[in-house]
Amino acid sequence: VPVPVERVVCQPVCVPVPQPVPQPCPIPPIPPLYINETL
- pLDDT tens, position by position, 1-39: 666 656 555 555 556 666 566 666 666 665 666 555 555
Q: How far apart are CA 30 and CA 32, in angstroms?
A: 7
Q: What is the pLDDT of residue 27?
A: 64
Q: What is the pLDDT of residue 36?
A: 56
Q: What is the pLDDT of residue 4?
A: 61
Short-list 22, 34, 27, 32, CA closest to 11: 27
Q: How far apart are CA 15 and CA 1, in angstroms?
A: 35
Q: How far apart are CA 36 and CA 14, in angstroms?
A: 29
